[in-house]
Amino acid sequence: MSTFDTAMTEELNLLLKFPSDSFMQGLKIHHDASNAIVNAAQRLYTKGLITQPDGGYLTDLGIDVADHARKVYSALFSKLN
Task: Please indicate, yes or no, whether the overall pTM of this predicted structure exceeds 0.85.
Answer: yes
Amino acid (one-letter) located at 57: Y
Residue 38 CB: number of other CB atoms within 10 A? 18
pLDDT digit string, tens, across residues 40-74: 999 999 999 999 999 999 999 999 999 999 999 99
Q: Where are the domains of the chain?
A: 6-80
Q: Are 51 and 59 in contact (CB under 8 A)?
A: yes
Q: Largest Cα–Cα distance in the chain?
A: 37
- Is 70 exceeded by the pLDDT of residue 12? yes
pLDDT band at 79 (very low <50, low <70, confident <90, very high): low
Backbone angles phi, psi at 27, to 5 degrees: -130, 150
Whole-angstrom distance, CA of residue 24 vs CA of residue 77: 27
